[in-house]
Structure 1
């Protein structure tokens, strides 16, 4: 890549000037100004996922923060950044990224299942809704997030049944 806009005096070309004006007006992301393609962003995100899977979360954080900074509309990168923050114990930052992803894509299974789990850990019932929505977003468990959501629903249901049995036995 290496496409940081360079200005060495003189006149800037019209196309670059218009892109910069569009960026300032909020009509373009920095990734669009720089001409980053979907394939390039996807390749960088894959490296970030591989780093996180290898336990190199600080390096993954840097990549995903860069992707989100370049394109704040990228819900997949926001959800992935949230996941990295969660692994790093930065739970407030993770919640912020999951929520930002869900503002743009309310059916993002990664953001739904991970935010749902964080809500449940806080004792917030919104977690049940998020996890149920994650299952609805991926009803056949085609993604790892969808499979995880389904597993959490089963675990929650089993725990509820056990509590009911205990309550009945004590009555």
Structure 2
């Protein structure tokens, strides 16, 4: 039996997976991501996304993998799809906000961070703290850009 995730995905593609098997695969993908094995994580989450196209988590994970390897366009596409499937996905919002910041789309990034903070007013999700920090950075960048362009007002 092979342990190569691409080979496993190819041979298992015809066999349906149960809910617990899907969860186990997702946990394997998350562990691969945490270990920096992004290609393995991508293969696992792509297989899961292909199997269950209605589950936004797999798209969020694919977006996080793409972001980790600086594939900003790919990350944006996956995260947009994740948010289409689940508009209240805090991880997708924060990651998409970061993608927007890195692409120079400061206002779009700030909107995603603001939405993430709005969805977690009690700061229960650790991503909300990250969203607050990135929102502050986006605001500072926007203010600096406005000053640099001469768009500031003096009073």
Q: How would you bin the TM-score normalised by the shorter chain?
A: 0.7 to 0.9
Shift in Å at residue 135 of structure 1?
Answer: 1.1
- Residue equivalent to 2:135: 153
Aligned-partner Cα distance in 2 for 1:112–1:100: 11
Counterpart of 1:128 (choices 98, 104, 110) is 110
Unaligned runs of 5+ in 2: 1-11
* Equivalent position of 2:5 in the other structure: none
Structure 1 distance, partners of 2:133, 2:93, is 14
- 1:156 shift after superposition: 4.1
Is the contact between residue 141 and residue 150 of structure 1 (CA under 8 Å) also seen in structure 2?
Answer: no
Which has more radius of gyration? 1
Give the Å deviation of 1:130.
0.7
Aligned position for 2:21: 40
Larger RCO, structure (CA 8 Å, separation 6 or more): 2
Q: 5 Å matches for 1:137-148?
A: 137-148=119-130
TM-score by length of structure 2 reads 0.75
Mapping of 1:1-171 within 5 angstroms?
4-5=14-15, 34=16, 36-37=18-19, 39-124=20-105, 125-156=107-138, 159=140
What RMSD over aligned residues (CA atoms) do the two structures have, in Å? Answer: 2.9
